[in-house]
Each structure stands twice: as C-alpha cells, then as structure tokens.
C-alpha cells in the first residue's frame, strides 16, 4: 500500500470526529479537568478492548488515543466514556502544565488563565481550525516541546510572557495576557478555519520549540504527597497494560492519573511507601520509570501498519534503536523515529531523527522530521545501519565527551549517507 502523504491529512483524531488511519478510526480523548481516576482509566481500557482493537496511546501532547475503531463502534465508545463520568475536552485545545496548582516548583498556576481563555473563546467555536492550540505553562512540568499558536509562559506570579505564532514575546499582567491571547485567537479565526497563528502579520518567524525530557519518577507536591511520572514503551500499550496500571494506581492509593507531555502519565496523591511499591509494579509491567531508561530518550510514532501515512514500522523499530544507542544515551540527546516526515511523536527538533521516506529511513541531525532528505537506508538494513552508526560514534567518542558534543563534532548524516552509498559493498560482502 502506498502511504498517504501526511500533508493530505489535515485532520486531528478528535473525540467527536475520529480520523481514519491504517488500523481503523482513531479517537483522541483529553479529560477536560486533565485527570482520570484509576477506575476511569480501567473503564476506558475496557471500552478500548470492546470497541477498538485494544491498542491505546499517550501522545506527545499528553492526549489519550484509542485505536482501531469501526464507524459503528465510535458511538458506543463515546457513550461508555460518558458513563464513566469522563468529560472530554471539546473545541479549542488549551493545554496547562499537568501538575498546575500542585507543583511547588511552578511559577504560577496556569488554570485560572486557561479557564479565562476557554470562556472567552467560546464564541469562536467552529471558526478556529481543529489544530489551533493554546499552551499555558506555569512552570514545573514543561510544555516547551509542544507546538502552540498562542503560548503563555509564567515569568512571575501573575505575569505571563505571551507569544503568538513564532512572533516576539511580550510580558503582560494576567488579565491583559488573557485579553491579548483572545484577540490573537479572534484574528486567527478571522482568516478562516485553515489559518494558524503563523499566518498573522509579524508572527511567522522561526519556530522555537525546546527539547524536553519526559517527566519521570518521583515529584514532591505542595500538599505533602508525591507524584510519580511514568510512560509505556514509546507511549503505547494494549488495554490489558492500561488496566493493570489502573489497578496498580488504585492499590497504591493514587488520587488520579494525569496524561502528561512526552507520552507520560503522572499519578498523584501517593505516600512515600506506596510510591515505591507503585514504581516496582510499573517496572514489572514494562513501563519506563526513570530517565536512565534508553526508551525515555526515544520518541516513536505508531508507524506501519497502524498509520496510513507510514513508510516504516517506526514503533516496532524502537527497541532496535534503543538497544543500539543505549551506550550513547547520556541524557544530552533525544532520538526520534518517525514513520513519515510529519513527525507526530516529537514535533520539536530531535538530536537525531530517523525518518521513514521512499520505503527506507533518512537521518536528520538537530532538526524536525520534516527536514528529512535522501539518502535513505532501506528498512531491511535498519538494524545493521543503526548498529553500525552507534558503534562508529562510540568508537570516536573522546573520554568524558557528551554524545551531543560528539555529534556536533562528527557528521552523523554524512556517516549515514556514506553507509547508504556503500550499501552495494555491504550487499556484496554479505553475499560473499
């Protein structure tokens, strides 16, 4: 099957309008209050098993996705979600730091500002495109890796730096920041449903997304309890794994589970002893619980066959990449496996992005997946190619040198390209 070019898609797998992809319809769910009880997560997993193909995901933006629905099972799943008492976010996406109001390291709780923007933007329903989004970052768990049309970052109590599109930042008091954010959203809506903030005058500068690591492990909360951040391998698992996580959270006395950036969930309200037991249960379930896990440094989209735009089975190749690069993952680099140039799993530039195109895999250094260009390594060569690249890099690393510095000194794309150009030799030597 020829993959569907990502640029033709233009739709988001939202709650009311699931999107058709390789393994059926995909439905995205963001709880409007940003949290699920363990019982709600268990119920959602059961619904995913009954009405979808049982696969669930947490996205880079911290949304939950249920895969493999049929047109006739979308309605029953939506009914099941309502019966669980989950209120999905409908309309404008306004993302707030997941521990806002609970995080002792935050600068300002973003929830009041987010609520003001949501209320003020109600009249724009239907006028803004489905991808228009607002990010309100109060500090603590970072949202700096997420794309946003309107971004507000706390610079002090009640003070926010407002950025529209890729324009310059302006620091404003909270009420003024809300009014200016709403003015920007109105201006985007006035340009039509296809418009984004970068279409506004003066807002089309260079994108400035940051590389952000996933929030993993223990985090103290302002109420004296603990939070614990974790992820499923590459953000995906089957309904049984999600149900087992819900059981473990309930047994640990967790108050709720919060979908969070970089494909993670954060359990809150844990005591110290319960957090240790919970972490051990998660590790036994194969979850990523610490930044030192090589999988924590790698983002991978679903890829083939689940996504209709995919050129390669990105998620299935993830463990291969993790094993090859494990000795080089020192916390200074991020890796991205994207099955096409859209780069869903990691919109920000990655240190190395392995990108499916033309039936193979191209390499980008310090850039987004959209920067991929030939030459590509054939998919069948991927395990040997990444092993060879990692071995070459490791052999040339100077004592004490970080992997980021090593990559800046060498030319990983050139090494990859050289491998591609030498492929005939490889094939010849294998035949011999």
Q: Give me the residues that bind ligand SF4 (CB under 6 A), please.
A: 6, 301-303, 307, 309-310, 338-340, 342-344
Q: Are 269 and 257 in contact (CB under 8 A)?
A: no
Nearest to 296 by CA among 345, 265, 343, 263: 263
Q: Which residue has the tokens 């249960």?
A: 281
Task: State which residue, 3 or 259, has the beta carbon closest to ligand SF4.
Answer: 3
Token pair of 283 as six digits: 């590790």
Cβ proximity to ligand SF4, 13 vs 100, nearer residue:
13
Give the residue with the Cβ less far from ligand SF4, 6 or 229: 6
Q: Are 381 and 423 in contact (CB under 8 A)?
A: yes
Closest distance between ligand SF4 and the C-beta of residue 27, in Å? Answer: 15
What is the rounded CA–CA span in Å between residue 344 and residue 322? 19
Q: How far is CA 333 from CA 213, 251, 298, 353, in A?
A: 10, 36, 9, 11
Question: Measured from the CB of residue 116, what is the shortest distance to ligand SF4 in angstroms?
Answer: 32
Alpha helices in 84-218 (DSSP H): 111-120, 174-190
Q: Which residues sit opposite 45 in a β-bridge?
A: none
Of 9 and 111, which has the nearer Cβ to ligand SF4? 9
Which of residues 212 and 310 has its CB atom nearest to ligand SF4 in the complex? 310
Region label for 418, one of left (φ > 0), alpha (ψ between -120 and 50) or beta (otherwise): alpha
Residue 302 vs 413, nearer CB to ligand SF4: 302
Rounded Cα–Cα distance for residues 153 and 393 (Å): 37
Report how far residue 367's alpha carbon sits from residue 54's, in angstroms, rounded to the nearest whole number: 33
Shortest Å distance, C-beta 78 to ligand SF4: 23
* Three-state DSSP class for residue 218: strand
Shortest reach from residue 293's CB to ligand SF4, in Å? 22
Minimum gap (Å) between residue 11 Cβ and ligand SF4:
11
Shorter beta-carbon distance to ligand SF4: residue 64 or 244: 64
Residues 6+ apart with CB under 8 A from 92: 117, 118, 121, 124, 125, 128, 132, 133, 134, 185
Q: What's the min distance (Å) between Cβ of 28 and ligand SF4?
A: 12
CB of 283 to ligand SF4, least distance (A): 27
Q: Based on CB atoms, which residue is closest to ligand SF4, 282 or 344?
A: 344
* Smallest distance, ligand SF4 to C-beta of residue 249, A: 28
DSSP single-letter state for residue 64: E
């Amino acid at each position: 099957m020829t993959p569907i070019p990502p640029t033709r898609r233009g739709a988001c797998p939202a709650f009311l309008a699931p999107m058709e992809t390789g393994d059926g319809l995909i439905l995205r769910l963001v709880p409007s209050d940003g949290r699920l009880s363990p019982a709600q997560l268990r119920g959602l997993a059961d619904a995913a098993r009954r009405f979808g193909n049982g696969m669930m995901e947490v996205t880079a933006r911290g949304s939950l996705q249920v895969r493999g629905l049929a047109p006739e099972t979308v309605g029953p799943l939506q009914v099941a979600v309502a019966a669980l008492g989950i209120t999905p976010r409908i309309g404008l996406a306004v993302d707030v730091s997941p521990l806002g109001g609970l995080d002792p390291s935050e600068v300002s709780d973003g929830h009041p500002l987010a609520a003001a923007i949501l209320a003020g933007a109600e009249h724009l329903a239907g006028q803004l495109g489905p991808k228009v989004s607002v990010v309100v970052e109060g500090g603590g768990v970072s949202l700096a890796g997420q794309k946003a049309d309107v971004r507000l970052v706390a610079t002090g109590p009640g003070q926010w730096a407002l950025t529209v599109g890729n324009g310059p930042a302006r620091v404003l008091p909270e009420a003024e920041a809300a009014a200016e954010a709403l003015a920007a959203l109105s201006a985007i809506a006035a340009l039509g449903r296809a418009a984004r903030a970068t279409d506004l005058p003066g807002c089309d500068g260079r994108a400035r997304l940051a590389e952000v690591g996933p929030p993993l492990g223990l985090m103290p909360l302002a109420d004296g309890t603990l939070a614990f951040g974790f992820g499923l391998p590459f953000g995906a698992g089957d309904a049984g794994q999600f149900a087992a996580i819900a059981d473990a959270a309930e047994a640990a006395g967790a108050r709720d589970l919060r979908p969070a950036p970089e494909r993670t969930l954060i359990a809150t309200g844990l005591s110290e002893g319960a957090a240790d037991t919970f972490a051990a249960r998660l590790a036994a379930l194969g979850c990523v619980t610490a930044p030192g896990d090589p999988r924590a440094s790698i983002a991978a989209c679903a890829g083939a066959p689940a996504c209709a735009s995919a050129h390669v089975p990105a998620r299935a190749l993830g463990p291969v990449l993790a094993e090859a690069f494990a000795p080089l993952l020192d916390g200074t680099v991020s890796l991205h496996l994207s099955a096409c140039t859209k780069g869903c799993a990691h919109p920000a530039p990655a240190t190395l992005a392995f990108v499916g195109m033309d039936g193979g895999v191209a390499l980008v250094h310090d850039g987004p997946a959209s920067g991929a260009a030939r030459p590509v390594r054939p998919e069948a060569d991927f395990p040997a190619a990444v092993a060879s690249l990692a071995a070459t890099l490791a052999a040339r690393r100077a004592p004490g040198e970080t992997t980021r510095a090593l990559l800046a000194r060498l030319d990983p794309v050139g090494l990859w390209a050289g491998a591609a150009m030498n492929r005939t030799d490889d094939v010849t030597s294998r035949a011999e």
